[in-house]
């Protein structure tokens, strides 16, 4: 099966890039299943029902979340009606789920959404949750497992890779909005510390630079906003999974000036 993952979609600029490119990418690369992180999709904070429908209509099959999953209260109802996840390691009793299993190209695919701990809201242990969930999935006959690990610390993301390499098909990090240059396949597990944002690329993590700069210069916080006009980027990872392993993987960057940059994941022998 060929799986595509899109990191943090940030506001209208990110949604516009999805509308502009996703269907063509799916066709060109013969993608079977698309996962995307929604937590910043509605003006940078959370997800509205209107934007959920808009993104799913573009060809996204499943959407994962993070610490901003709850910013729009209507998302709670969407958990029951749409293919939308929230981090699986929220405590028992929290609405929604962070793990779903799908039939894709004749095989089962589990999508697992986890959230890290450094500078994040209180949750159960992400590493123990990952181990127990993977064990349960394997017992149910699910071999192909993809994880969106939404975390601030690169050390947490790398540690998750060390814990699960050879046990899951892919682990890609989200949250920082800044792409890293370490896409690799080790022991059959695809890994990328952070895929980077889809949205504005010429400011501060997709947000207008005025408030962040004021905060850094003065220590006074303000409400982050998204520029009405900006240069945009779409970043996607495409991975081939079979029998629980990643066979090959690549990353594509689409710029609004029509440039496309491809990077193939390296394989650790």
Q: Mind telling me the catalytic residues?
A: 68
Cα–Cα distance between 120 and 191 in angstroms, integer?
A: 22
- Tell how many helices (H) and how many strands (E) occur in the chain: 6, 14
Burial class, 267, CB count within 10 angstroms (exposed 0-12 / middle 13-18 / buried 19+): middle
Q: Where are the beta strands (DSSP E) in the chain?
A: 2-6, 33-37, 62-64, 99-104, 107-115, 144-150, 170-174, 184-186, 189-192, 199-200, 232-242, 245-255, 260-264, 266-268
Whole-Å CA distances, 245 to 51, 145, 171: 33, 9, 12
What's the CA gap between 144 and 253, in Å, rounded?
Answer: 25
Yes or no: say if 130 and 114 are a contact pair by the CB < 8 Å rule.
yes
Rounded distance, CA 223 to CA 177, Å?
18
Rounded CA-CA distance 269/266 in Å is 9
Q: Smallest Cα–Cα separation from 58: which of 187, 193, 236? A: 236
Distance CA 13, CA 90 (A): 29
């Amino acid at each position: 099966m060929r799986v595509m993952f899109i990191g943090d979609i940030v506001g209208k600029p990110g949604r516009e890039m999805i509308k502009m490119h996703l269907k063509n990418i799916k066709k060109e690369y013969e993608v079977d299943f698309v996962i995307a992180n929604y937590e910043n999709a509605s003006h940078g904070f959370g997800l509205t029902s209107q934007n959920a429908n808009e993104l799913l209509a573009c060809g996204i099959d499943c959407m994962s979340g993070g610490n901003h999953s709850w910013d729009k209260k209507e998302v709670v109802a969407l958990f029951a009606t749409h293919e939308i996840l929230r981090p699986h390691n929220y405590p028992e009793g929290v609405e929604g789920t962070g793990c779903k299993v799908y039939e894709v190209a004749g095989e089962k695919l589990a999508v697992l959404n986890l959230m890290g701990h450094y500078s994040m809201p209180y949750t159960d242990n992400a590493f123990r949750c990952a181990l127990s969930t993977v064990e349960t999935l394997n017992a149910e006959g699910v071999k192909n497992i993809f994880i969106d690990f939404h975390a601030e610390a690169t050390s947490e993301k790398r540690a998750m890779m060390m814990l699960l390499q050879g046990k899951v098909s892919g682990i890609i990090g989200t949250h920082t909005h800044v792409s890293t240059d370490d896409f690799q396949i080790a022991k059959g597990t695809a890994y990328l510390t952070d895929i980077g944002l889809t949205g504005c690329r010429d400011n501060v993590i997709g947000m207008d630079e005025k408030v962040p700069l004021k905060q850094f210069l003065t220590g006074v916080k303000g409400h982050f906003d998204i520029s009405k006009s900006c240069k945009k980027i779409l970043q996607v990872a495409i991975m081939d999974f079979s029998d629980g392993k990643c066979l090959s993987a690549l990353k594509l960057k689409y710029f609004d000036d029509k440039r496309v940059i491809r990077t193939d994941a390296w394989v650790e022998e």
